[in-house]
Amino acid sequence: MPEFHGRLYIRRGGIELHPTYLNSNTMSIITTGALTGGVQPRLEINDFLGNKLYRDLLFQAIPVAMNKAQSDFTSYYQIAGIHGLPPQSYDGVGATQANSNSEGYCTHGSTLFPPWHRPYVALFEAKFQKAAMGIAQNYTPSLRPSYVDAATNLRWPYWDWASKAVPPPEVISLDTVPITAPSGLNTTITNPLRRYTFRGREDRSFSDRYTTFVKSTVRHSGGVFFVQGGDNVNELTSTLNKNGPSYQANTYNLLTQVKSWPAFSNDNANAGGSATSSLEGIHDGIHVDVGGNGHMSDPSVAAFDPIFFLHHCNVDRMLALWSALNPGVWVTPGTQPGGTWTLNSNQAVDKDTGLTPFRSSPGGFWTSSAVVSTSTFGYTYPEFIGLDMSNSTAVRDAITTKVNALYAPKNSGKRKPRSESVQSTTFDWSVNIIVDKHACGGSFCVRVFIGATYVGSHCAFARSTPNLPPMLIRGAVHLTRVIEEIPGMPLSLDPSVVEPYLTHNLRWVVEKAGGDPVAIADVPSLKVTVFRTPMRAASAPGQFPIAGEPIEHPDITRSQPGGAAVA
């Protein structure tokens, strides 16, 4: 154990804890992940709901956390509040003096973004699984063994938006769900995945904007931002369907083309990745597309929407897949732009920075170095079942095959065939988007079109707080899928064909999260540039195509507002 002096543990495991991280309140919540069943797979939500035992336990376990007192650190309210509002310490992990007004502990925009969310989801999962076990033990004697076995192996599910853009009705549209209760009787209960209901003014640190006008979390509410209008499920479904092909393309290119940690991990404009989006950038778009003018679109309150944890479970899965494809590549040094509840603005961070407020012991925090393996928290993902994780080469080859099967471009029937034997080198066309995250006073999207055909978007996932300092972010929208399906286009992705076509037909608009248009002239930081990446055919069946160095084509967008800067 480390030596304890008042509020400061001097050292543990080589980690020095800043004295302002800890205060004299209870210091008791150790993030462990699920504690029973050994290492079990987290399942995709559609598969998860196909298991009746899991389904019954999930719909009963979530309300256990939701109904706890808001002062209880194991309550849904407290765990969701770690991400943003309310502005209060979690489990005695206090704010630094410089950031006492910051919202939440989340490390957006830095190299810590992916690993910080790993213990966050694990903390939520542990409380969920513990509640499920308590419920299982209350079933009638004839049903109890089956439910206890299920609860033992239960892990939180993920929503794979890259292959199934629209979640099942249990997530987005059903207000009630059928279950078999512990009594053995079939009944119907309120669906806890649909929304979280606030408790009015119990916590006055929330502004009226989030809790008084809106009694529950909303998605595409149909009113002004955060004013209750009821979820518009049709609009939500349409938005996700429209963006689904782009989610898949962005994900495949992220997993197959990006090799450096900065370009993979975060959307900071200085992180690299000119022709691809980062994991954080893809994640941002899901938030805004799910939320519309509701809670998921604002990082201050996004975690209160139950879909948040389904989404972030998949973000963690993408981290696991990418890490398997790039063994030995992990967190590199960087800075934390804007700061957090415990990190100062632009503070240096690295693999040994504490992932506050997630404790590995009473006096220490988890670090990125300590959470490389998902087994640390007792879970894995279906793609890794049966693999020898000590053989990194075999794991990489197996995951390569599975990523190709899940996310590689499929022939839609409209796409023109292209023989790889004839043309072993081709091109992937994309637009790179750089913009100030805080340009619109909240979340917004740059939506890209070729002619009248919508291609995809890059979104800023931003707090609805005025006058935040500028923070340039970057992302990409891949164009190749749409270019290949344009009627009358020659069978070629050669720049002699594509460049003049895009010069005349590529366009973009800026929209706030709720769909309101923003004049491009009002976003002076916007810079949209086209890139062409040479792609060589895979060297063997089941392997990835090989990406070359991206080539910039600034002349395509230079004449348009928000286009490439004049040379």
Give me the domains of the chain, ranges plus CATH numbers.
4-193+220-376 (1.10.1280.10), 412-556 (2.60.310)
Mean pLDDT value across residues 528-535: 97
Q: Answer whether 554's CB lies under 8 Å from 567's CB.
A: yes
Report which of residues 421 and 192 the model is more confident about.
192
Q: Residue 426 pLDDT more than 70? A: yes
Tens-digit pLDDT profile for residues 4-49: 222 222 222 223 333 333 443 455 799 999 999 999 999 999 999 9
CB 107 within 8 A of CB 343: yes
pLDDT band at 467 (very low <50, low <70, confident <90, very high): confident
Comparing CA positions, the residue from 479, 493, 484, 482 lying closest to residue 430 is: 479
Among residues 69, 45, 76, 68, the alpha carbon closest in space to that of 58 is found at: 45
pLDDT for 367:
99
Q: What does the pLDDT read at residue 539?
A: 82
Distance CA 140, CA 151 (A): 15
The answer to pTM > 0.85 is yes
Query: Is 354 in contact with 15 (CB distance < 8 Å)?
Result: yes
**What pLDDT score does 565 carry?**
79
Q: pLDDT category, 347, cuts 50, 70, 90?
A: very high
The type of residue at 408 is A
Measured distance CA(420)–CA(515) in Å, rounded: 41
Please, how many CA atoms are within 13 Å of residue 297, restricted to the half-sphere of its CB?
28
Q: 478: exposed, middle or buried (C-beta count within 10 Å: 0-12, 13-18, 19+)?
A: buried
Terminal alpha carbon distance of the chain: 60
Does residue 491 carry a pLDDT above 80?
Answer: no
pLDDT digits (tens, 9 = 90+) for 285-323: 999 999 999 999 999 999 999 999 999 999 999 999 999
Torsions phi, psi of 428, nearest 5?
Answer: -110, 125
DSSP secondary-structure letter at 33? -
The per-residue b/e assignment along 247-257, b for 16 or more CB within 10 angstroms, e otherwise, is bbbbbbbbbbb
Give residue-wise pLDDT tens across range 107-131.
Answer: 999 999 999 999 999 999 999 999 9
Q: How far, in Å, CA of 377 to CA of 121, rounded? A: 10
